[in-house]
Amino acid sequence: MRKTTATLADGRQIIYYDESRNARRVPHEDPRELPERAPGSELRRDPLTREQVVVAAHRQSRTHLPPSDQCPLCPSTGGRQTEVPSPDYDVVAFENRFPSLSGDEGRCEVLCFSSDHGTSLARLGTERMRTIVDAWADRSAALAERPGTEQVYCFENRGPEIGVTLHHPHGQIYALPFVTPRTGTVLASARAHRQETGGDLFEDILAAEREGPRVVARNEHWTAFVPEAARWPVEVHVYPHRHVPDLPSLESTERDAFAELYTELLGRLDRLFDAPLPYVSAWHQAPVRQGRDRDLSRLRLELFSVRRAADKLKYLAGTESGMGVFINDVAPEATARRLREAAQ
């Protein structure tokens, strides 16, 4: 893979990841006249939960589900300039024009998986997936070096049912100036587990699941399983067998193995209801600067979908939205069995 860095018309950074090591990319100039960059977001702290809330009012005007011939993530052509000033690309990352976090409050990047508007991550193949893994790791390492970054979050939202605003296959990467509430809760559980048992929470979960009825797929380096207490009708967690804190820590063989397993898993998910599955796919990485918490943390991917049947979606009801008590209409063991049966 070869990395090339350039600058967009308004000063935002863009990075190309070309799969061929022999690629000689000459960045195209961005000829657009863009307005001034959006003002910074605001962090507010909820006194009841002590959690951070991001106020980003400028995002109300962001692009929302444009037709394919107006997609801002497609390559630029002679007659239309987009966010990517190049006629083609493999994988590309750039600062979001409408970021949730900006300035001293963090940074948000877009990661485009392909120049092909009509494809999906499931259909790109293992070579491209491997390039994406390298891009995730590269951006995670770079963003972790930014002053004020406490956690780096790589994720993909897919499908209008999830709330995506652009159909083009892409994900996002956030450099967060705080440790997220979910991470804080999980780390508290890991800390309590170590004090009570002397063991590693994630290692013990993996050991309990690896030979059980909820395993979906596995190889030498990774296991994908439906968690015992899944909140969502379709939910899969993917754990590396080696205890590593983050994506940059993965070795080459582990990255290869993930690309193979995840590509195959995404294909199964689309076959589950014979249609593209809407989902959120989230990488959980250790906090950047908290030494003891990094030792407690374990890299893992958690994917979930709001689709509970071919013609039904899960909406958060009163107990879930109001009190955080999830009620799953589908047994995790049944979901795991169906995903195993969806293998080609």
| pLDDT (average), residues 172-186 | 96
Q: What global pTM score does this model have?
A: 0.96
CB 328 within 8 A of CB 233: yes
Q: Are residues 65 and 32 in the same domain?
A: yes
125: domain range?
A: 2-176
Residue 170: pLDDT band (50, 70, 90) is very high
Instruction: Please state the φ and ψ torsions of residue 40, each to the nearest 5 degrees.
Output: -65, 150
Q: Are residues 65 and 152 in the same domain?
A: yes
Q: Are residues 234 and 155 in the same domain?
A: no
Q: Are residues 209 and 109 in the same domain?
A: no
**342 DSSP 8-state letter:** T
Active site residue 241: no
Q: Are residues 201 and 170 in the same domain?
A: no
Q: What is the average pLDDT score of the chain? A: 95
pLDDT of residue 229: 98
Tally of structural domains, the chain: 2
Query: 54-78, pLDDT tens digit by residue?
Result: 999 888 878 889 999 999 999 999 8
The one catalytic residue in 167, 170, 193, 237 is: 170
pLDDT of residue 38: 72
**289: helix, coil or strand?**
coil
Query: 22-39, pLDDT tens digit by residue?
Result: 777 888 999 999 988 877
Query: 226-277, pLDDT tens digit by residue?
Result: 999 999 999 999 999 999 999 999 999 999 999 999 999 999 999 999 999 9
Nearest to 226, CA basis, from 319, 315, 334, 314: 334
Q: Are residues 169 and 306 in the same domain?
A: no
| Beta-carbon count within 10 A of 49 CB | 9
Q: Are residues 192 and 275 in the same domain?
A: yes
Query: 310-328, pLDDT tens digit by residue?
Result: 999 999 999 999 999 999 9
344/342 Cα distance (integer angstroms): 6
pLDDT of residue 105: 84
165/170 Cα distance (integer angstroms): 11
Q: Are residues 307 and 206 in the same domain?
A: yes
CB 241 within 8 A of CB 257: no
